[in-house]
Amino acid sequence: MKNQNSEQNLTITHDEQAKRFETSIDGYTVYISYQERDDTLVYDHTIVPQELGGRGIGSALVKHALNYAREQNKKVIPQCSFVSSYISKHPDYQDLL
């Protein structure tokens, strides 16, 4: 499944088999991975290569992943500190916890 993220003009793909949301930029793959536990998504890693850091790409991926959880009526466990920090800064996602 592909989705265009207008904030970053990213095409984010949901690789259901690998259990991650990903995009490619300048030859680098950026992704957030998850595990499924019943009605919960455990977001465990957000990977942004150092060369792409500071451009808001990680935040765009996390936002996309959280919106996916909401659309699927899933709860979220943010094992990844980046996801946890994002939710702390965006209280509109607190209901997913």
Fold (CATH) for 2-96: Aminopeptidase (3.40.630)
Predicted confidence (pLDDT) at residue 3 exceeds the cutoff of 90: no
Alpha-helical segments (H) within 1-97: 57-71, 81-89
- For β-strands 40-47 and 75-78, DSSP reports them as parallel
Question: pTM for this one?
Answer: 0.90
Q: Quote the CA–CA distance of 2 and 19 in Å, as a whole number.
A: 14
pLDDT value, residue 6:
39
% of the chain exceeding 90 in pLDDT: 90
- Checking if the pLDDT of 1 tops 60, the result is no
Q: Where are the domains of the chain?
A: 2-96
Check pLDDT > 80 for residue 80.
yes
| pLDDT confidence of residue 74 | 98
Q: What is residue 9's predicted lDDT score, i.e. its pLDDT? A: 79
Residue 91 DSSP SS3: helix
Mean pLDDT of 15-35: 97
